Chain A
Amino acid sequence: MDATVLGAWVATGLTLFIFSFLYKDNPLFKLAEHLYVGVSVGYTIVKAYDTVIVHLIVKPIFEQGEFALLIPVAIGLLMLTRYVPKAAWLSRYAFAFIVGVGSGLAIPRTISSFILKQVEDTVRPVLSLAGGDGVTFSMNLLNPASSINVIIILIGVISVLFYFFFSIEHSGPGKIVARTGVMFLMIAFGAAFGYTVMARMSLLIGRLTDLIEFSDASYGNPTLWLAILTVGVLLVLSRRSSPGEQEK
């Protein structure tokens, strides 16, 4: 049996075992679930060990004499002092380093990319800096380049921001703006939910496509045999559990 055929049997079996949860919780599902967790963690540990410890630390230090690497290694090792209560305070230096560097890198870039650029894009089509006149209102619905979407987006941004502004009571005109914000939020949640459904269905399509492919005789019909096995096991388990349930 070559690796492709073996892989087809394993993939088919695990897919069907996971799908069996749709009928009810059972040992086959648990087996597949635990295997998934175990294999994922095992794979990650092995890859991380090989890439980080072997290729980025041991080899450069011992084969190329890059002793400067001992500094990050020492900082990293300080993390492990968490396991020694008396020396646990040393780990704070490592955490401080990570938090400091991480925040320093992330905060300016995030503000630039997600706040300033987005504010600019929201306002730019409506207002423009023209020559020495300062800020001018450049939106013109009669101009085909000025899209009505710009106004909709602007209303959406302002109303949603106002909805999350809790320092004044949402009453009178404020209530209308806040309600408009809620409507925009609902539309956004609806769009996100629609995409989520699409994504989940895509995953189902992916698995079913593989099951159809692996039902081929060249693989030894794993879909057929393993479906029979799964259904059989579920039947046996439901018969076994039936008397107990009846007593209950």
Chain B
Amino acid sequence: MTFSERMLKIDRRIIFLVIGLCTLLPLLYPVGLPIKISSEVRGVYEHIESLPERSVFFISFDFDPASKPELHPQAIALLRHAFRKNLRVVTMTLWVSGTGLADQIVTQVAKEMGKENGKDYVFLGWSPGNTAVIINLGQNLYKTFPSDYGGKPTNGLPVLDGVQSLRDVDYMVSLGAGNPGVEAWYVFGKDKYKFEMGGGCTGVMAPGLYPLLRSGQINGLIGGLRGAAEYESLIGQKGKAVAGMDAQSATHVAIIVLVMICNLFYFSMRRATGRQSQVGS
């Protein structure tokens, strides 16, 4: 067995170990690599920045704990920015399995920023129907969510003053890990009820959403942990996403090197096999 063959049949657990170490070491000993802000993340930031005080900012946390590492930092950064701008924050989720997590995120950031439930923000919770919920919200918010997550009637809440439906929302961001998510909010929400919209998503989903971004159907996109790190840098409150960027870069370098080495061994093995067959014939 040649060296190339032995390397191509290497125990995959060694590769897991290499990737694990490349992730762990930068987390333990961060270097602080620079983070360049992309125009798509800046799109969301600048729109929120341009909103006047007490504007209505609607966030839908369309993810569950399985996507927490990517979307939790995005949600925290967005909420911190919105609360700092004194916006009225209306939140909900289309994912039943993400209800508890969404409530925890909103409550945690609101407490940290000294905001009052019902006056500065509200968490509407979850309602069944997926995309039908979006359509219902476009018609009447109070019929879709007669009460908030805590059971308080939504009608009469100061945070919803002047808000009848999605048409009264100044800016909306869906943080989506799948369907229903950003696409559903665009198709059944923005396209029909005409409000300005941005998106946040997992890395897996980001390439599929770029066509919406390019055509101006959404005005910004926060993609994966990288997007969250950019947003944290923009608001000047570095958190878990920025801390993870060194590890992300290190693992990417490791994967690129592994792919290159694998290809080198593969082609050298193929060349050796070709030579052997020529000698044999």
Contact = CB atoms under 8 A, between A and B. Distances in A.
Interface in B1-32: 13, 16, 19-20, 23-24, 27-28
A48 interface: yes
Contacts of A207: 69
Interface string A181-220: 0000000100110011111011111111100100000000
Pick from B126, B128, B135, B204 the residue with the most CB of A within 10 Å.
B204
Nearest to B189: A109
Interface string A44-79: 100110011001100010000000000000000000
A204 B70 contact: no
A33 to B, nearest CB: 13
A113 B13 CA distance: 45
A22 to B, nearest CB: 5
A52 B128 contact: yes
B99 A22 contact: no
Given A22-B13, A47-B96, A195-B204, A208 B214 contact: no
B224 A198 contact: yes
A192 B99 CA distance: 29
Nearest to A207: B69
Interface in B220-237: 223-226
B84 interface: no
A82 to B, nearest CB: 19
A174 B135 CA distance: 44
B27 A202 contact: no
Contact of A205 (B97, B206, B248): B248
Contact of B96 (A48, A105, A114): A48
Contacts of B225: 198, 202, 205-206
The secondary structure that dominates the A interface is helix
Contacts of B70: 199, 202-203, 206
A206 B23 contact: no
A235 to B, nearest CB: 15
A141 to B, nearest CB: 19
A117 interface: yes
Contacts of B211: 118, 121
B96 A192 contact: no
Given A205-B225, A209-B240, A51 B128 contact: yes
Interface residues of B, number: 54
Interface residues of A, number: 41
Nearest to A212: B27
The secondary structure that dominates the B interface is helix
B159 interface: no
Contact of B187 (A56, A113, A118, A206): A113
Contact of B244 (A121, A197, A202): A202
A197 B191 CA distance: 32
B97 A44 contact: yes
B92 to A, nearest CB: 12
A199 B203 contact: yes
Contacts of B72: 206
B251 interface: yes
A112 interface: yes
A161 interface: no
A23 interface: yes
Contacts of B226: 198, 202
Contacts of A188: 207
A90 to B, nearest CB: 22
Nearest to A196: B204
Nearest to B99: A47
B238 interface: no
B217 interface: yes
A198 B248 contact: yes
B68 interface: yes
Contacts of A208: 23-24, 27, 247
Contacts of A198: 203, 224-226, 248, 252
A4 interface: no
B91 to A, nearest CB: 16
Given A47-B96, A118-B215, A205-B244, A197 B252 contact: yes
26 contacts: A23-B13, A40-B97, A44-B96, A51-B96, A51-B126, A60-B146, A109-B187, A109-B188, A110-B187, A113-B187, A120-B215, A188-B207, A191-B207, A196-B203, A196-B204, A197-B255, A199-B203, A199-B224, A201-B255, A202-B224, A202-B226, A205-B69, A205-B244, A206-B70, A206-B72, A209-B243
The 5 closest A-B pairs by CB, nearest first: A206-B69, A199-B203, A121-B215, A202-B225, A205-B244
Interface of B: 13, 16, 19-20, 23-24, 27-28, 68-70, 72, 96-97, 99-100, 125-128, 131-132, 135, 146-147, 183, 186-188, 191-192, 202-204, 206-208, 211, 214-217, 223-226, 240, 243-244, 247-248, 251-252, 255
